[in-house]
Structure 1
Amino acid sequence: MTTTHFVKFYGVANGDTAQVILDNGRRVLFDFCHRGNAEDLDTPEIDLKATLKKELKDADRDYFDVVAFTHADLDHIQGSTEFFELQHAKIYHGAGRIKIKDLWVPAAMLLEEADNDHQKEEYVLLRQEARHRLLNGQGILVFSKPEALREWLEPKLKERGERPDARDHLFVDAGTLVPGFSLASDNVEFFCHSPFIKHCDDGSDVIRNSASLVFNVRFDADGQRYDFLQVGDSCAEDLEDIVRTTLYHKRGDRLGWNLFNISHHCSYLALTEDGKKGESETEPKELVKYLLRQGKPDAYIVSSSKPTPDVKESYTQIQPPHIQARKAYERYLREVRGRKFVVTMEEPNARKPEPLVFEIGRSGVSWKKTTSIGAPALVLSSPPRAGACD
């Protein structure tokens, strides 16, 4: 039998939700953003709650194997505390809530002490959930272990009569594989690029984007290997840190990508520094260029964002998506002979987008495109070239 995995992206305006569905049935959800108006049939945003519940029901499930919140900004967590079952309080049990077997969070989500204007209720609940799971010692992985988190955790473990290192197995460092998945057992592995400890040793709100979870997700499909780069809302400086550190440790293969979920809804700040958007096209920083050039032939770039039309008004738009950034991504995609830059809120049309579905099998990464009249079509990659999957 052939091995087939899927990666799905959901149109939630400038927000992120993506799902990995493995050949063996395990499901990993990255972020959750249900827009308040999404249940209105006249709005383009997908009704994420209804869509995910139907997908799980069709798979005879009421849970995800993993839910990973890359960071705590509202466009990555909105509606999550109404949708998921939270273990820390019975009020958040039952009522059709979807269960989370394992929660993945950056250390910053357990530490952050934002001011009242930024400390949204949903974030507070998720922080309580993460702390509850960590103290109970199950159902969670925390990425990075800064000193501030040690100072919070170890006294609480002492009160429980446990050793200071009793939760060490629940922490994952940058530059390592995430436990619980392997190429041998699941035909997938998750390599953690970020956060670094330096991203999490300050509890302020400004570190959220820098402390985002960033993964190289490597799939095996009948001996062929393909890479999905899942990036939170990292800025250009953070991506340069990742490239620099990965190359220093001689892990450059972890920068390659067949599928790239770009950062921050096609903001130019994921390519270069503030104030350098460019008139017609953004010029990326040198190490960001290096990362973009690691795309494999027939690769795809996905922008989890609103449409980015090439019209006059787009060039003066302040908020992302930025047309100048899109043009840069498309230029480097052409350079590596990639296939297409795809926007979640544009397919099959901007009036009523549908989830983007990518199939990963022995012949490559394929976009299962839906036409504007609703009939499915498959946009296939070329067969793998020699050396493309090393």
Structure 2
Amino acid sequence: MIDRTDQLPEAARESEVRSYSREWPVQFAHARGARVQDVQGRSYLDFFAGAGTLNYGHNPPALKEALLSYVAGDGITHSLDLFTAARTELLTALQQHVLTPRGLDYRVMFPGPTGTNSVEAALKLARKVTGRSSVVAFTGAFHGMSLGSLSVTGSESKRAGAGVPLAGVHRMPYDGFAGGTVNGPALLDAMLRSGNSGLDRPAAVIVETVQGEGGVNVASPEWLAELSDVCRRHDMLLIVDDVQMGCGRTGPFFSFETAGIVPDIVCLSKALSGYGLPMSLTLFRSELDVWEPGEHNGTFRGHNLAFVTAAAALRSYWRDNALENWTAHRAGHVEERLREVALRHEGLGARVRGRGLVWGLEFRDPELARRVGRAAFTRGLLVETSGARDEVLKLLPPLTVSDAELDEGLEIVAESVTAAAKDRAPQEARTS
């Protein structure tokens, strides 16, 4: 696609670092549910959902009503870590609808507005609790763009932007890496048992149950359970980064629930506010709360507008199992449709993987995945690519997407793959 964003007035002032606006060179103006509209009035079906931030769609009515009422009543907006009514309301809703039903005894920390803030706090806490400095992370991981989070991220291109050495991390193979020839938890266990491996006992292991940015790589429940056992056996803390996969993206509120494990520390952000407002939490077992007052802080750790919508989201969507069950039901439908597409295009090396309502369609040729994404945009569907080479078309529809919208989006994906494959064939013929 030709980058036409230089024709937009804001492009003259913005840094070249912008990325999504290059793939979707239009000005968006309005949004509701699973659809967004540009200034020209064209509607797009959104299977990007703010990179997993808008799990409940754009402007969900119950959350919008709560937010407008709070603002109209001159509610506190900024509060650092002062007690506010909005803060108490959120903590109450979190305890009632999430922690208590799952039997989780977690302390709640407000580390700042974004996912990387939560990860930084988790890493810092793990090192403080254990007195050890190194951390185990996995191939294909993405944990954020600040230095600590980058150190445990796998992407070569993203790590290169740090400009300084990223030390203190041992890398292990994720589930399925190198064709699944190496079992990461078993390897870690063997190295820690060896006494001759050169691997000092780490403070923690950080993992995503599904690697979204890494290419929708899915860890099996058995693999995650084995990893949890290894952490417990060697007195290492288990950190689950649920920034993108939490808040119902894979079905349950926490993505690790299907594995039957209880992490020591959990990182949440993205869909947590339910409304696209910046917010993150770091949850951890009560006995790990060794912080001194003010030892870790941030100016925007008290974003009350996000507290209001987050509490409304928990009350609206997590008072029962309806959303979780509905997501699980739709997961089977999405998988079936995508496998049909992959089967029709076996020659492209298309492969399907995912869980809940996060799915990836991988292609042997990364350029083909990008072509499919561009073809989808011209047909009115927003969908991004992921993976080390952008070889995976990643689908993240809102959890509240209607059946008709879901089928519409999947049909556009199918049409876009066919169109991209046809466009590719003549080009290959010309270069052969």
TM-score (norm 1): 0.29
Which structure has the highest strand share of the two? 1
Which structure has the highest helix share of the two? 2
Comparing both chains, which one has the higher relative contact order based on Cα–Cα distances under 8 Å and sequence gaps of 6 or more?
2
Bigger-Rg structure (1/2):
2
TM-score (norm 2): 0.27
